[in-house]
Structure 1
Amino acid sequence: MARIRINGGPWRKVMPGSSLLGLIKGRGGVPIHTSCGLGSCGSDIVLILSGMEHLSAPFPTELRTLAAEEAPANARLSCVTKLMDGDVEVEVPDYSLEQPAA
């Protein structure tokens, strides 16, 4: 069984193998920004508060992007990260939210 908590909200059961981006936008209703969907733009950084071991392993592209963005050690890119099993708590920082049109 897999569960996710987004920005301190309620725990939600999810299908193992679901992408964090889909869970955050769909289930969580959080307007996270994404651009490329390939792990190279760095616009959809999320912070993993707990459960990092329940996520898919990062690919080299994601690691390079996170390093270039000087992201903290608990950061992942939601577009390329999958929740494999277990419980994961995610925080979407303000800098990863879609900005309203001016």
Structure 2
Amino acid sequence: MNYKSAFLLRCPAIPKVRIALVGLGNRGTKTLVRYAFIDNAEISCIVDVDSQRLARANKLLRDSGRKEALTLCGPDAWKEACQLPDIDLIYICTEWRTHTQMAVHAMRCGKHVAVEV
């Protein structure tokens, strides 16, 4: 399909959106807390360069009554998240200069993408 405008883009409904959250700094952590309470959204994978942030994020998920997410750690771990077949949405909460590269790669992998700013 060729669309001239994103306003005309329609995708089939996803009953439960499985999210890979990339970047668990201040904004990423706040996003995780907000999304942990949305019924039809599941934080399935969390990605960061800092393993301590990953541990804190999984604790926040457990504390909210949700199951822990798959953790991917390292500077290129976000690419691995884009390849996971059970992820619908890559939610990018990293430093702004990385947004375009990550978003384009994720879309090329067939994922929906959201960027925090």
What range is the shorter-chain TM-score in? 0.3 to 0.5
TM superposition score normalised by structure 1: 0.34
User: Hey, which of these two has a bigger chunk of strand by percent?
Assistant: 1
User: Hey, which of these two has a bigger chunk of helix by percent?
Assistant: 2
Which structure has more RCO (C-alpha within 8 Å, separation ≥ 6)?
1
